[in-house]
Amino acid sequence: MWMHFGIKDAIDVLLVAFFLYQTYKIMKASGTIAIFSGVVSFVVIWILVSQVLEMRLMGAILDKVISVGFIVLIILFQDEIRRFLLALGSHRGWRFLSKIFSKSEKDTKEGQYIAPVVLACMNMAKKKTGALIVIQQEMDLSIYEHTGEMFNADVNARLIENIFFKNSPLHDGAMIIADNRIKAAGCILPVAHNTDIPKDMGLRHRSGLGMSQETDAKVIIVSEERGKISVAHRGKLRVNVTAEELQQLLSDEKW
């Protein structure tokens, strides 16, 4: 078998390994790693019984289970599959092509929202004004924008503070910022159901973490009870963030 192992086979193995690793990351971020481990274990047992030990009866039973396993996986991982297809079909998913031809324009425009957002968050934290701000990355967030009130405004610290003012009708929802513009406010976000989230963190933190699990967006949470700032991204939550750390996290494209 090893005499016929060539470059194409090596690439095949690497692609399968990469696919399994990415699947593992998605499952871990969504809290379904136990189900993923169970599926992998079942496949290993199926290969062992059918191919290695050649148990005909048991192998036939497992073959029938595997034949309907695809439908079962779709049911179990429908949220993860939807997230993957949303990222794949997003028109922003291929934005790296435009970056090659418009790098100078990107350098001048990208990140203009950071300073007013950081200033607004620090002011709201001092006043203990709750806020939930979503910063769009590569994945399109249009479906979440339409759950709130549509905007098309420049990112301004005073405007952000007014939207999240306690008597404002939009203060309970989330604000979405994309392309250096405020796109929507009062938006509804998916809620994370992780059991390891501290109990002192309320619905804002769960919504911010849930949004970071469903999309690649960076989500800023300002606690109304504690006056602290947290940032959620890729299913991870960083709490008690300072102004300098917040600016760095928003500027860092690799984080």
pLDDT digits (tens, 9 = 90+) for 149-207: 998 899 999 999 999 998 888 888 999 999 899 999 999 998 887 766 777 778 889 99
Give the confidence band of 41 by pLDDT, cuts at 50, 70, 90.
confident
Q: Please say if the pLDDT value at position 243 is more than 70.
A: yes
Give the confidence band of 96 by pLDDT, cuts at 50, 70, 90.
very low
203 C-beta neighbours (distance < 10 Å), count = 13
Residue 110 pLDDT: 58
- Terminal-to-terminal C-alpha distance of the chain: 42
What structural domains does the chain harbor? 2-89 (no CATH), 103-251 (3.40.1700.10)
Specify whether the CB–CB gap between 186 and 148 falls below 8 A. Answer: yes
Mean pLDDT of 224-252: 90
Q: Please say if the pLDDT value at position 106 is more than 50.
A: no
Higher pLDDT, 149 or 19: 149
**At how many degrees (to 10) do helices 56-76 and 33-47 cross?**
160
Of 227, 225, 223, which Cα lies nearest the Cα of 208? 223
Mean pLDDT of 121-144: 91
d(CA 174, CA 189): 7
Q: DSSP string covering 130-188, please?
A: -EEEEE--SS--HHHHTTSEEEEEE--HHHHHHHTSTTSTTTTSEEEEETTEEEEEEE-
Q: Please say if the pLDDT value at position 13 is more than 70.
A: yes
Specify whether the CB–CB gap between 110 and 138 falls below 8 A. Answer: no
d(CA 39, CA 19): 15
Give the confidence band of 104 by pLDDT, cuts at 50, 70, 90.
very low
- Predicted TM-score (pTM) above 0.85: no
Name the 3-class secondary structure at 231.
Answer: strand
Q: In the numeric block, which tokens belong to residue 143?
A: 């479906």
